[in-house]
Amino acid sequence: MAYIFDTYAIIEIIGGNSNYLSYLDENIIINDFIFAELCYVLFRKDYPNSDLYLEKYSKFIIKLQSDIIKDAMKFRNKYKKKRLSIPDCISYFMAKDMGIKFLTGDKEFEGFEGVEFVK
């Protein structure tokens, strides 16, 4: 099975969160927005071996269609009180477009259809 992984999920995997072990054998898909956010988080935290992780996850990037971005920003505006991130909204709509689930532990997405919520 394939999932769109958000940055939260990737950081939890890198950190060894056992709740994400079952997802390591799944097909990982990310986009440039998630990759950019992952770069920022790893650099900000001065994470050891960040270049190795970035090289690994860069192989899972799939290009987005502009309609996904447009729909995601409408969604973000609709739920602006939840303070959803741009990369997460885009990834959520990418998952919907591909007919797969969005894997996240971000509490703002808990309960949304098509979300695989893991803490």
Q: For 53-81, what is the mean pLDDT? A: 97
Max CA distance (Å), the chain: 38
SS3 labels along 62-75: CCCCHHHHHHHHHH
- Averaged pLDDT, 40-46: 97
Split into its structural domains, the chain has a count of 1
Q: Mean of the pLDDT values across residues 91-106? A: 98
At 56, which helix (H) or strand (E)? helix 50-58
Residue indicated by tokens 């920022």 = 40
d(CA 114, CA 36): 23
Q: Report the Cα 40 to chain-centroid distance in Å.
A: 14
Q: Give me the CATH number covering residue 96.
A: 3.40.50.1010
Segment 19-42 mean pLDDT = 97
Note the pLDDT of residue 58: 98
Q: How confident is the model at residue 68 (pLDDT cuts 50, 70, 90)?
A: very high
Q: What is the extent of the structural domain holding 27? A: 2-117
Average pLDDT over all residues of the chain? 97
Q: Report how far residue 101's alpha carbon sits from residue 113's, in angstroms, rounded to the nearest whole number.
A: 9
Predicted confidence at residue 101, as pLDDT, reads 98
